[in-house]
Amino acid sequence: MTDSLVLAFVIGAAFGWTLERAGLADAPKLARQFYLTDLTVFKVMFSALVTAMLGLFWLGRLGVVDVSAIYVPETFIGPQLLGGLVFGLGFVACGLCPGTSCVSAATGRLDGVAVVAGLFAGVLAMGFAVPAIAPFFTSGARGTFTIPDALHLPYGVVVFGVTLIALGGFVVAERIEARA
């Protein structure tokens, strides 16, 4: 086995460990995000996003990392909008996302096992449907397209803005939880 695959396993193990520590293996706890009684999903996700975003920005700025060499998911506006809508419906129906469903199953939760089975079915069904919806599947293709590109703003300004929005979101999240 190559070093890269060993590294993938180690990174995955740290990912799974952290999700379980945060309580994100428990579907009812995740579902509370959408009924505004427990905002752990938002807090964990946006602390992680901002930490990685700031880390990458500063490592790039200090010349430690070549940010342009890191793969950025490509933008396809149409399918990412519709895909997100369908995904969100599934998310609130089952209370887990693909990553957390694996952790849920690994911690003995049978509903997590059912979500994993459903995921396989959904990926296979939509995978087979891709040729039939080919024009839509690639609609709004923009390649590597970032918010700094779209808004014609410097990378650092957008990083600062996203950080401020996340911090504001944490304040609001604490208020909502205090009321719930």
Residues 49-68 that bind another protein (CB under 8 A): 49-53, 55-56, 59, 64-65
| Minimal distance, residue 19 CB to another protein, in Å | 6
Distance, first Cα to last Cα, the chain: 50
**3 state SS of 75:** strand
Could you say which residues in the range 117-176 bind another protein, by CB under 8 A? Answer: 117-128, 130-131, 134, 137, 142, 144-150, 155, 158-159, 162, 170
Beta bridge partners of 143: 75
Q: Which of 134, 164 has the CB closer to another protein?
A: 134
Q: Does the protein bind another protein through residue 9 (CB under 8 A)?
A: yes
Could you say which residues in the range 67-96 bind another protein, by CB under 8 A? Answer: 69-77, 79-96
| Minimal distance, residue 3 CB to another protein, in Å | 10
Enumerate residues 6+ apart whose C-beta is below 8 A from 133. Answer: none
**Rounded Cα gap, residues 10 and 123, in angstroms:** 25
> What is the CA angle 18-98-140, rounded to 5?
120
